[in-house]
Amino acid sequence: MTNKIYEEYAVLDAQIKALISQKNGLKVQILEELIVNKEKTRETSVGKFTLASLKTWTYTAKVTNLEEDYKALKASEESTGTATFEEKPSLRFIQSKL
């Protein structure tokens, strides 16, 4: 197999990253415009854009401590072999520095 498939993958990966970055920039601009104009929704020829609220939770020390205990217990089972795992093939790609 030639390097063509690898080169194509790398080009697509770079394009996807660039598009995601561009999309995120547009998202910020759209959110700012909706907020400034005090709009909840904007209907356009390409679809409907809606200002949504997402909840971010902050937990008490009790819950945070329980979560830390849970993570420690998981790590302990992993290190002692009590927990089991399954390995699946995966592809990892690191872009060359140009």
Q: What does each of the 98 residues of the chain score in pLDDT, given as a tens digit?
A: 679 999 999 999 999 999 999 999 999 999 999 999 999 999 999 999 999 999 999 999 999 999 999 999 999 999 999 999 999 999 999 988 86
What HEC string does the chain produce? CCCHHHHHHHHHHHHHHHHHHHHHHHHHHHHHHHHHCCCCEEEECCEEEECCCCCCCCCCHHHHHHHHHHHHHHHHHHHHCCCCCCCCCCCCCCCCCC
Query: What is the model's pLDDT at position 66?
Result: 98
